Amino acid sequence: MIEYPEAVVLARQLNETVTGKLIQKVIAAQNPHKFAWYNGLPENYPAMLEGKKIGKARSFGSWVELKAEEATMAFCEGVKLSFYPAGKKRPLKHQLLVEFEDGAALCATIQMYGGLYCFYGEDFDNKYYSQARQKPGPLSPEFDLGYFLKLATQNGADKLSAKAFLATNQRIPGLGNGVLQDILLNAKIHPKRKISTLSQDEFHHLFNCIKNTLALMVGRGGRDTGQDLFGTAGGYNTKASKKTAGKPCCQCGSPISKESYMGGSIYYCQVCQPKV
């Protein structure tokens, strides 16, 4: 899944590989997928994109945005973006293929679900996209302790569990169920613990762990549970994830537990993260 670290890394790599290239051919929805979300009809994408030059890519939240003159492509959730140099074989199945004049290509595929949107200007009515653009990123200067404290006092957020507070309602765009596991392990807070039970020091520590953990994930090219634009796993080794479930906690040696919670899985250390 694309979360904040992966979005930052993908945008950087897109700027290094496809910016300035001319789009020669676009194939959209060649292999229909029930949970591939498009903006309007995908058959309109070729007319919107072909003959256009790729501009700058940028990220916000879990979104990756790529400009093509007056058109914009935006990717989110479970989209896998892959770059193929000229001459390298592309996958036979895909949900979006953008081929360039020099023979290279950008391919987007979906396993579970994901958004592959194309639109002109601001003609894109998606509340998640709008919220992600409007809210400060967790590594931005605007996302400071004062802002974080306000998030905890709005709309009954203090009554939520740590997982629900961090990863629901686009409270912090890009911070999802994947990255929150290591953040909470570093903060020594159980995913089910109520925000209202945190002391002032614990809450401040949680804020610092968000900043520090995400910075490490970005700096190391994303998490080892995902892949970048070239199919390479991220260099950040997750501490609490599907890769470490049942293995010793890096902090105390106790096994990392896995449990179903809020429609997904949580990974935690029973010793380092007591429920309290």
CA–CA distance, 73 with 64 (Å, rounded to integer) = 8
What is the 8-class DSSP label of residue 195? G
Question: Using one digit for the tens of pLDDT, what is the confidence trace for 192-206?
Answer: 999 999 999 999 999
Let me know: does 254 contact 188? Beta carbons within 8 Å.
Answer: no
Let me know: does 22 contact 53? Beta carbons within 8 Å.
Answer: yes
Q: Residue 155 — pLDDT band, cuts 50, 70, 90?
A: confident
What is the 8-class DSSP label of residue 221? T
Residue 105 neighbours by CB under 8 Å, 6+ apart: 83, 84, 90, 97, 98, 99
Q: Residue 276 — pLDDT band, cuts 50, 70, 90?
A: confident
Residue 214 neighbours by CB under 8 Å, 6+ apart: 4, 5, 138, 139, 175, 179, 183
Three-class secondary structure assignment of 55-97: EEEEEECCEEEEEECCEEEEEEEEEEEEEECCCCCCCCCCCEE
Question: Using one digit for the tens of pLDDT, what is the confidence trace for 218-264?
Answer: 999 999 999 999 999 999 999 999 999 999 999 999 999 999 999 99
DSSP alpha helices (H): ranges in the chain? 4-17, 45-49, 127-134, 145-153, 162-167, 180-187, 200-219
Give pTM, 2 decimals: 0.95
Question: Using one digit for the tens of pLDDT, what is the confidence trace for 8-28?
Answer: 999 999 999 999 999 999 999
Among 26, 38, 45, 27, CA closest to 93: 27
Residue 116 neighbours by CB under 8 Å, 6+ apart: 28, 36, 37, 38, 42, 73, 75, 79, 95, 96, 108, 110
Q: What is the mean pLDDT of the chain?
A: 96
Tokens of 12: 């950087």
CA–CA distance, 143 with 266 (Å, rounded to integer) = 25
Question: Using one digit for the tens of pLDDT, what is the confidence trace for 36-88?
Answer: 999 999 999 999 999 999 999 999 999 999 999 999 999 998 999 999 999 99
The amino acid sitting at 101 is: E
pLDDT at 1 (0 to 100): 87
pLDDT at 275 (0 to 100): 86
Among 88, 86, 55, 64, CA closest to 1: 64
Residues of the chain with pLDDT > 70, as a percent, come to 100
Is pLDDT above 90 for 2?
yes
